């Protein structure tokens, strides 16, 4: 039987400063409970930043790096703050430090290219991007700044090439279209430039409309969503450290702050499932079931809740929607196959889905599902062959052993 | 000595705060009382002009008016300070009759009736005011006679310019947004009140009035092409950007693409900002453009543009390439250290008289409680001076005398040699605070010349005329503007630093509307008047 979910009551009126104080209190509580835990400190730093205390945020992220020098996630916000304060020397230093620790840090490379470009160091900006390109670690942002730097050197063919590559990686990259139109103009390719400029204006018009829409929402709404995201993350940190009650408290609070966002309730559902509280899960599914979701992550989470609650038809619906939203997701096919296998009467559909999953990602887990699907559809030879493959790949795998023994003994 | 002149590292640009001793007691108010109307953030500009024709610039400050629900014991009003010489000023507002109590935003001065006296146009939130200079120290409100009230709109910058070369100054009136008191929405963020954004309101058309030459103006907004676009005008400047002999118009728009109206010579304009590269910064971002000024910073004969904008946006220096502009902010360093701040009034001037144009920038956030939300910026900020060294700018504010300790939230700034010593001084209008009057005390022995253009028939102050000054290997260009910076006006007297050169070899004037004139062999360190079709003579000094 579905049980009601114990959502907390919010004060009336709900004010931004109260919400912010709740986020700060939660971040403090986490940091106290896990004083040397970089995830907790990272969240506290983020809350400092949200509250406009960038110095405290930077100090907290620096502590993260003392505790765990490979906690590279701390660099990007520190670089952004340094840049925002106009401290480009510090921004550059942080970028280089981050890339020294891991040259594959794409975002830091893009930021370094930007910082160098804005200091007028065009050759250095180009070199930075080329170095990243050589190891496959550049994003559209880095390529945009490379294009800008080539423009400054009047190398417009190279600029156009870099900018086209940026657009290939990010087809709606407004800034890149603008820069490309400039280079094409300088190259005398006026018609092409006009076409690109038209695309730029179309994208920019969309961006301005989106900005206007955001502004129509009261600014307190922004705070509400931001604080909700802090509580979602806090819940994850509590949960992974075994503090289920605190995780539940955080996600319940996030759920009431953003009732139109299913994410906190999906997390609650997963938590209740792990705590073996099916009534609560069903209560949540009654709320979540009718929602039309499009985000793959949310579809995955809800589908799993349905599947584990025995509501297979709804699970099937979500996993199919997930595949529609992300056709290259092997996990989606694999979970759909598992759903079909539990249904009993959709074995051939299970086989097709499992086969698709393996084609997209021939992982051990997906091969196991395919082997089971083969066996379920009567193709024991294929199932055995896959089980043998799995054992060759990982001779210690208990799942592969179990499957192999079952198939060989004819005892499924 | 190079064609750029050389700045002496040992003699920094120095500004001394003369406010207390100057007699300028103007205190600006933004007209609010905690309701956070957007218009509070954008007031106001100021005007340096020689209203009494005594040879030195006087100061006219704009002020806001009480917004709905707000009461002030003494209603704020605009103020005119007469320059008495020796950095002493006298408040002559009441006598002059220019103490408008409207919500002041932008202002400019120009001789619209060709009587040799500078008149004033004030662009308000609400009806505008046109003051005709009577020539006896007083002004008369001619708004209705001239037909230039411009309805009940939110104003911005103002320009006097001769759009068709007929010798009668026309009037460009900027309009910010479509706003009425009842459209106001109160915003707060985590309990901290904040101002809204122009994106919440409809953009507005600017207004162009053509001077009929009979004391009246005709609204030609539509027929001139100006009305083809709507923006969120703020600072603006008119100049011959494409060097074809007529006056074009650059309009900075807040959080929208800027406009560059290209004149066909007959007063019909085509908006070409995107094609010519000044609609956006170099990234293609529509900045929250605030102020605009133009000058030839690289002495190549083309007028370049400088534009201020919002926090986390670099001010932009656009180099004029002839047919288009290029954002050269980063290679020139023209952004200084201003990225964290909201920047407002800006202006080019050769503060160290070394033969190239430096930049002065006023700064300060729109939100008076911003530090509670974001400690990477500040509401009150010291203004900046960027020294031009061979086309590269260096922020020399820290060593600029009193400048770094004067921390306010500046809006308009205006630049002029107020004491006739050949060094360009600064006046800053600070939001909700006393104004600053700064004397330039840079000591480097460099030479200079200042030029007043005059003609006796039409366009008496030569607005739109272009001047080329040659002193040895140093060649500089400038143009007479009316209206510039942040909704302000200054600089009808052209100023050129000459470095070590003690004389000017040649001055070539291309008079707006036609005619070229050359005068030669003028000793440095003086202010001269050049009459059209006449010679030169020392100007009268106050």
- DSSP letters for A272-306: HHHTT-HHHHHHHHHHHTT-----HHHHHHHHHHH
Select from B190, B196, B375 the Cβ nearest to the Cβ of A54. B375
Residue B67 has pLDDT above 50, yes or no: yes
Q: What are phi and psi of A145, to 5 degrees?
A: -70, -30
Q: How far is B199 from chain A (nearest CA, A)?
A: 6
CA distances, B507 to each of B451, B476, B477, B503, B514 (Å)? 10, 10, 10, 11, 16
Residue A353 is part of which domain span? 332-412
Domain count, chain A: 2
A70: in domain = yes
> Could you tell me if A204 and A353 lie in one domain?
no
Select from A84, A122, A175 the Cβ nearest to the Cβ of B284. A175
- Of A199, A224, A249, the residue at which a domain comes to its end is A224
Q: How far is B396 from chain A (nearest CA, A)?
A: 16
Would you state the pLDDT for residue A330?
A: 96
Does ipTM top 0.95? no
Cβ <8 Å between A222 and B189 = yes
- Of A201, A224, A247, the residue at which a domain comes to its end is A224
A159: in domain = yes
> Could you tell me if A205 and A65 lie in one domain?
yes
> pLDDT band at B190, cuts 50/70/90?
confident
Q: How far apart are CA A166 and CA A142, in angstroms?
A: 8
Q: How far apart are CA B476 and CA B492, in angstroms?
A: 16
> Could you tell me if A211 and A336 lie in one domain?
no
Q: What are phi and psi of B218, to 5 degrees?
A: -115, 135
Q: Which CATH number belongs to the domain containing residue A344 in this structure?
A: 1.25.40.10
A207: in domain = yes
Query: In chain A, how many H helices and how many E strands?
Result: 22, 0
DSSP 8-state class, residue B234: E
- Residue the block writes with tokens 């004030």: B122
Quick one: tokens of A31?
């940091």
CA distance between the termini of chain B: 33
- Of A204, A224, A244, the residue at which a domain comes to its end is A224
Q: How far is A235 from chain B (nearest CA, A)?
A: 22
Would you state the pLDDT for residue A403?
A: 84
Would you state the pLDDT for residue A197?
A: 95
Chain A residue with the nearest C-alpha to that of B286 = A204
A248: in domain = no
Question: Which distant-in-sequence residues (6+ apart) come within 8 Å of A361 by Cβ?
Answer: A330, A331
Cβ <8 Å between A174 and B373 = no
> Could you tell me if A354 and A205 lie in one domain?
no
**Chain A residues within 8 angstroms (CB to CB) of chain B:** 15-17, 19-20, 51-55, 81, 83-86, 117-120, 122, 148, 152, 174-175, 177-179, 182, 185, 197, 200-201, 204, 208, 211-212, 215-216, 218-220, 222-223
Chain A residue with the nearest C-alpha to that of B369 = A52
Which of A250-254, A288-292, B137-141, B244-248 comes out lowest in average pLDDT?
A288-292
Provide mean pLDDT across the span A267-279.
Answer: 94
A269: in domain = no
Residue B2 has pLDDT above 50, yes or no: no
**CA pseudo-torsion sign B184, B185, B191, B197:** negative
Quick one: tokens of A61?
């992220």
Residue B336 has pLDDT above 70, yes or no: yes
Q: Which of B501, B437, B442 is nearest to B469 (CA)?
A: B501
> Could you tell me if A212 and A343 lie in one domain?
no
Q: How far apart are CA B477 and CA B93, in angstroms?
A: 35
Would you state the pLDDT for residue B10?
A: 57
Would you state the pLDDT for residue B5?
A: 47
Provide mean pLDDT across the span A37-49.
Answer: 96
Buried b (16+ CB within 10 A) or exposed e, A342-377: eeeebbebbbbbbbbbbebeeeeebbbbbbbbbbbb
A311: in domain = no
Q: Tell me how many residue pairs between chain A and chain B have CB atoms under 8 A apart.
A: 88
Residue pair B208/B220 in contact (Cβ under 8 Å)? The answer is yes
pLDDT tens column, B438-491: 999 999 999 999 999 999 999 999 999 999 999 999 999 999 999 999 999 999
Chain B residue with the nearest C-alpha to that of A186 = B324
> Could you tell me if A215 and A341 lie in one domain?
no
Provide mean pLDDT across the span B97-114.
Answer: 98
Would you state the pLDDT for residue A411?
A: 47
> Could you tell me if A38 and A181 lie in one domain?
yes
DSSP 8-state class, residue B288: B
**Structural domains in chain B plus CATH codes:** 15-447 (2.130.10.10), 448-538 (2.60.40)
Cβ <8 Å between A16 and B188 = yes
B340 reaches A (C-beta below 8 A)? yes
Select from A15, A152, A179 the Cβ nearest to the Cβ of B191. A15
Buried b (16+ CB within 10 A) or exposed e, A53-70: bbebbbebbebbbeebee
Q: Which of B419, B399, B292, B406 is nearest to B343 (CA)?
A: B292
pLDDT tens column, B4-52: 444 455 569 999 999 999 999 999 999 999 999 999 999 999 999 999 9
B372 reaches A (C-beta below 8 A)? yes
> Could you tell me if A212 and A337 lie in one domain?
no
Chain A residues in contact with B363 by the CB 8 A cut-off are: none
Provide mean pLDDT across the span B332-357.
Answer: 97
A129: in domain = yes
Provide mean pLDDT across the span B282-286.
Answer: 95
Residue pair B529/B539 in contact (Cβ under 8 Å)? The answer is yes
CA distances, A354 to each of A343, A379, B112, B263 (Å)? 15, 14, 83, 69
Mean pLDDT for all residues in chain A: 93
Chain B residues in contact with A201 by the CB 8 A cut-off are: 274
For a pLDDT cut of 70, what percent of chain B falls above it? Answer: 98
pLDDT tens column, B117-138: 999 999 999 999 999 999 999 9
Q: Strands B153-161, B119-126: parallel, antiparallel or unpaired by DSSP? A: antiparallel
Cβ <8 Å between B200 and A216 = yes
Q: How far is A400 from chain B (nearest CA, A)?
A: 55
Quick one: tokens of A291?
């929602």
Is B146 exposed, middle or buried, given 0-12, 13-18 or 19+ CB atoms closer than 10 A? buried
pLDDT tens column, A213-223: 655 545 678 88
Q: Which of A127, A154, A155, A152 is nearest to A142 (CA)?
A: A127
Q: Strands B88-91, B358-363: parallel, antiparallel or unpaired by DSSP? A: unpaired
A8: in domain = no
Q: How far apart are CA B28 and CA B62, in angstroms?
A: 8
- Residue A317: Cβ within 10 Å count: 17
Would you state the pLDDT for residue B185?
A: 87
Select from B197, B274, B375 the Cβ nearest to the Cβ of A55. B375
Mean pLDDT for all residues in chain B: 95
Q: Which residues pair with B307 in a beta bridge?
A: B292, B316
Residue B383 has pLDDT above 60, yes or no: yes
Q: How far is A244 from chain B (nearest CA, A)?
A: 29
Would you state the pLDDT for residue B4?
A: 46
Q: How far apart are CA A198 and CA A195, in angstroms?
A: 5
Residue A397 has pLDDT above 90, yes or no: no
Q: How far is B90 from chain A (nearest CA, A)?
A: 41
Q: Which residues pair with B50 in a beta bridge?
A: none
Chain B residues in contact with A53 by the CB 8 A cut-off are: 375
């Amino acid at each position: 039987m579905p049980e009601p979910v114990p959502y907390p009551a919010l004060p009336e009126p709900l004010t931004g400063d109260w919400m912010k104080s709740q986020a700060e209190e939660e971040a403090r509580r986490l940091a106290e409970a896990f004083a040397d835990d970089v995830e907790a400190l990272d969240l506290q730093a983020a809350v400092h930043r949200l509250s406009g205390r960038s110095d405290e945020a930077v100090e907290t992220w620096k502590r993260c790096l003392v505790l765990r020098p490979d906690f590279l996630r701390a660099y990007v916000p520190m670089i952004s703050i340094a840049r925002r304060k106009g401290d480009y020397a510090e921004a550059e230093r942080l970028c280089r430090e981050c890339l020294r620790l891991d040259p594959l840090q794409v975002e830091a490379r893009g930021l370094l290219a930007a910082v160098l470009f804005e200091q007028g160091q065009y050759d250095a900006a180009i070199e930075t991007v080329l170095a990243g390109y050589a190891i496959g670690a550049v994003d559209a942002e880095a390529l945009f700044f490379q294009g800008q730097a080539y423009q400054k050197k009047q190398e417009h063919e190279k600029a156009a090439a870099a900018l086209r590559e940026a657009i290939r990686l990010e087809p709606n990259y407004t800034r890149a279209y603008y820069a490309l139109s400039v280079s094409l103009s300088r190259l005398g390719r006026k018609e092409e430039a006009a076409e690109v400029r038209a695309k730029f204006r179309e994208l920019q018009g969309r961006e301005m409309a989106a900005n206007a829409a955001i502004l129509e929402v009261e600014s307190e709404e922004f705070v509400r969503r931001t604080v909700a995201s802090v509580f979602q993350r806090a819940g994850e940190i509590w949960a992974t450290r075994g503090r289920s009650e605190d995780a539940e408290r955080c996600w319940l609070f996030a759920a009431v702050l953003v009732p139109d966002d299913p994410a906190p309730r999906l997390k609650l559902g997963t938590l209740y499932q792990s705590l073996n509280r099916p009534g609560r899960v069903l209560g949540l599914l009654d709320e979540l079931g009718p929602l039309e979701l499009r985000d793959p992550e949310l579809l995955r989470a809800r589908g799993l809740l349905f599947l584990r609650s025995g509501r297979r038809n709804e699970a099937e619906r979500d996993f199919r929607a997930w595949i529609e939203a992300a056709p290259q997701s092997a996990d989606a096919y694999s979970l759909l196959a598992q759903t079909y296998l539990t249904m009993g009467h959709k074995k051939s559909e299970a086989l097709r889905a499992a086969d698709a999953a393996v084609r997209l990602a021939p992982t051990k887990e997906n091969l196991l599902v395919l082997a089971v699907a083969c066996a379920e559809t009567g193709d024991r030879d294929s199932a055995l062959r896959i089980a043998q493959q799995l054992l060759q790949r990982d001779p210690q795998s208990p799942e592969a052993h179990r499957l192999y023994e079952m198939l060989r003994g004819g005892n499924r | 000595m190079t064609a750029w002149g050389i700045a002496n590292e040992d003699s920094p640009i120095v500004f001394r705060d003369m406010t207390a001793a100057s007699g300028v007691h103007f205190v600006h108010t933004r007209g609010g009382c905690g309701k956070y109307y957007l218009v509070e953030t954008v007031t106001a500009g100021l005007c340096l002009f020689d209203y009494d024709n005594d040879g030195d610039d006087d100061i006219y400050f704009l002020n806001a008016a009480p917004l709905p629900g707000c009461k002030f014991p003494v209603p704020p009003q605009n103020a005119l300070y007469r320059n008495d010489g020796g950095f002493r000023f006298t408040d002559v507002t009441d006598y002059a009759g220019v103490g408008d109590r409207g919500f002041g935003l932008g202002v400019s001065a120009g001789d619209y009736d060709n009587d040799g006296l500078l008149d004033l146009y004030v662009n308000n939130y609400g009806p505008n005011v046109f003051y005709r200079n009577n020539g006896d120290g007083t002004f008369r409100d001619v708004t209705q006679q001239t037909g230039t009230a411009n309805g009940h709109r939110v104003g911005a910058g103002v320009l006097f310019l001769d759009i068709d070369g007929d010798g009668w100054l026309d009037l460009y009136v900027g309009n910010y947004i479509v706003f009425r008191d009842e459209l106001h929405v109160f915003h707060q963020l985590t309990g901290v009140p904040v101002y809204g954004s122009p994106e919440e309101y409809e953009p507005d058309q600017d207004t162009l009035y053509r001077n009929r030459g009979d004391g009246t103006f005709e609204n030609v907004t539509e027929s001139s092409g100006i009305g083809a676009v709507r923006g969120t005008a703020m600072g603006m400047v008119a100049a011959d950007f494409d060097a074809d002999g007529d006056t074009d118009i650059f309009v900075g728009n807040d959080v929208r693409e800027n406009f560059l109206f290209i004149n066909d010579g007959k007063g019909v304009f085509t908006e070409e900002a995107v094609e010519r590269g000044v609609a956006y910064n170099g990234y293609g971002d529509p900045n929250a453009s605030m102020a605009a000024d133009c000058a030839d910073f690289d002495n190549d004969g083309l007028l370049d543009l400088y534009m201020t904008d919002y926090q986390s946006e670099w001010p932009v220096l656009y180099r004029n390439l002839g047919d288009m502009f290029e954002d050269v902010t980063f290679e020139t360093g023209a952004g200084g250290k201003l990225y964290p701040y909201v920047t407002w009034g800006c202006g080019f001037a050769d503060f160290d008289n070394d033969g190239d144009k430096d930049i002065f920038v006023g700064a300060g956030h729109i939100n008076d409680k911003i530090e509670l939300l974001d400690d990477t910026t500040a509401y009150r900020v010291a203004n900046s001076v960027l020294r031009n060294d061979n086309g590269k700018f260096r922020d020399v504010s820290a060593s600029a005398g009193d400048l770094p300790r004067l921390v306010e939230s500046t809006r308009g700034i205006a630049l002029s040699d107020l004491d006739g010593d050949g060094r360009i001084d600064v006046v800053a209008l600070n939001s909700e605070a006393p104004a600053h009057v700064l004397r330039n005390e840079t000591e480097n022995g460099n030479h200079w010349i200042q030029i007043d253009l005059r003609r006796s028939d039409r366009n008496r102050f030569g607005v739109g005329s272009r001047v080329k000054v040659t002193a040895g290997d140093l060649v500089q260009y400038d143009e007479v503007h009316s209206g510039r910076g942040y909704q302000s006006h200054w600089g009808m007297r052209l100023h050129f630093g000459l470095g070590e050169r003690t004389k000017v070899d040649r001055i070539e004037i291309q008079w707006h509307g036609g005619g070229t004139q050359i005068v030669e062999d003028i000793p440095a360190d003086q202010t001269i008047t050049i009459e059209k079709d006449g010679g030169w003579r020392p100007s009268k000094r106050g």
